[in-house]
Amino acid sequence: MSRILLKPNKFAIFIETLIAKFLANGYRLQHTHNLKSVIQSQLETIKKAGTWKAERIIASPQRTQILLNNGKKVLNFCANNYLGLSDNPKVIEAAKNALDKYGAGLSSVRFICGTQEIHKELENKISAFHKREDTIVYASCFDANAGIFETLLTPEDTVLSDELNHASIIDGIRLCKAKKFRYKHRDMKDLEEKLNESSGSRLTLIATDGVFSMDGTVAPLKDIIELAKKYNALTFVDDCHATGFFGKTGRGTEEHFNYLGGVDIINSTLGKALGGAAGGYTTGPKELIALLRQRSRPYLFSNSLPPPVVASGIKVLDLISNSTDFLQRMEDNTHHFRSRMTSAGFIISGDNHPICPVMLGDAKLASDFAEKMLEKNIYVIGFSYPVVPREKARIRVQISAAHTKEEIDRAVDVFIEIGRELQVIQ
Ligand SMILES: *Cc1c(COP(=O)(O)O)cnc(C)c1O
């Protein structure tokens, strides 16, 4: 305005800029202040509820003995590093080689210019591992779960989901327009009732975690598949806490039930047992995978997996596809931990899975117990409401193939010492 009315001169421009700055800052200050106070009260609520999650800072690779940034060396019993491959030298070397040969990243989604030969190799290896027709790789299993339901299911379809399914399945289902049923946790009677209610759909899909991570319990997959057959439904299993290490050769929950190939669709992660870098996938019928490549939004609109991550996934699959060495060590360790803890008087929940929840009941007891464990250099985490039901607080121990017997014995000894001190055991 001033420039149109007045002849532009330095003074006018100076005043104009000053006014503009003053207005912008005043607005921003007020705005920021409002944002901060709104969030602050939310943060207080979380802290008061006792569910605040503090992050411990690690200054070493992921492994059984880790270094915290306060200089403390601790024994780690809470990683999803079931096969101990997160810092496996061969995996690291493969990632480094891929960095040199294929670069740091693709700066593209898959369908534009983000598919390298190694991306196809990884997808083919995953298909071969699960004996499926095809596989689509995502940046994470959260993305795989976010993409599949919306792509596959329409208002003519029905999805039935275990009430304790992983958050990413719940969110994925929220995005789709199918009719939705939540059945009681692992309750086949309830599932069958809901299958009856939903008859007449174009597609009916039953969705479940293979293994439930808070309890180390397994979905009754055999019964689910039988029900699916009876009601002409499809089965979807999220096998993040099973792929690579559960079942006789690590093929996951369906193999655990001697039902290889029994599930229609498997989603899983490369971010847990399979090297732990990142990445998720859907594996199943080739028509489904083709449709996901055309329509799945987290796939179409998000960057390709970086080459070092792809290469570490490939290397892990090479290491575990024809050998059960890692799996065997993990099973031996799990058995050793569970049997020593049980004979000491602890209650360990779960179905012989390397997730070993040490049941304590009281929330304060669980967090005090975990704190005392850390003082003795054993890194474990207490879980309480709302992550697990009230009065079912626990310390979740996760066993790895990389743990030595001595490390497990050391953890059990400390559990016994503190368990006596806090009068959890005699
Ligand atoms: C960890 C987990 C996910 C998420 O996997 P990311 O690859 O880390 O995104 C999804 N579902 C289940 C059951 C999980 O345990």
CATH code: domain of residue 368: 3.90.1150.10
Task: Judge whether 245 and 325 are in contact, CB under 8 Å.
Answer: no
316 and 330 assigned to the same domain: no
For residue 6, what is the DSSP state? S
317 and 328 assigned to the same domain: no
310 and 360 assigned to the same domain: no
CA distances to 194, 333, 367 from 355, in Å: 30, 12, 18
pLDDT tens digits, one per residue of 306-324 = 999 999 999 999 999 989 9
Candidate from 62, 136, 138, 141 with most ligand 1 atoms within 8 A of CB, to mutate: 141
Query: Does the annotation mark 241 as catalytic?
Result: yes
| Active-site annotation holder among 166, 256, 272, 353 | 272
Query: Does the annotation mark 48 as catalytic?
Result: no
Of 321, 355, 382, which residue sits at a domain end? Answer: 321
Provide the pLDDT for residue 28: 63
For Cα atoms 409, 327, 352, give the angle at the middle one, nearest 5 degrees: 65
Query: Does the annotation mark 353 as catalytic?
Result: no
Both ends of the chain: CA-CA distance in Å? 84
pLDDT tens digits, one per residue of 262-278 = 999 999 999 999 999 99
Q: Are strands 158-162 and 234-238 parallel, antiparallel or unpaired?
A: unpaired
Distance CA 224, CA 208 (A): 9
Predicted confidence band of residue 29 (pLDDT cuts 50, 70, 90) = low
Of 321, 355, 370, which residue sits at a domain end? Answer: 321
Dihedral pair phi/psi, residue 359, rounded to 5° = -80, 125
pLDDT tens digits, one per residue of 44-73 = 998 988 788 889 999 999 999 999 999 999
For Cα atoms 266, 269, 274, give the angle at the middle one, nearest 5 degrees: 115
329 and 317 assigned to the same domain: no
Q: Is residue 286 part of a domain?
A: yes
CA dihedral 356, 357, 360, 365 (to 10 degrees): 100
Provide the pLDDT for residue 386: 86
369 and 279 assigned to the same domain: no
- What is the model's pTM? 0.92
pLDDT tens digits, one per residue of 274-291 = 999 999 999 999 999 999
Average pLDDT value for residue range 71-87 = 97
Predicted confidence band of residue 144 (pLDDT cuts 50, 70, 90) = very high
| Active-site annotation holder among 140, 161, 213, 400 | 213
Domain limits for position 115:
89-321
Number of domains in the chain: 2
Q: Is residue 12 part of a domain?
A: no
Q: Is residue 4 part of a domain?
A: no
Centroid of ligand 1 to alpha carbon of 207 (angstroms): 14
Provide the pLDDT for residue 16: 75
Of 321, 351, 372, which residue sits at a domain end? Answer: 321
Centroid of ligand 1 to alpha carbon of 166 (angstroms): 8
Candidate from 78, 138, 166, 305 with most ligand 1 atoms within 8 A of CB, to mutate: 166
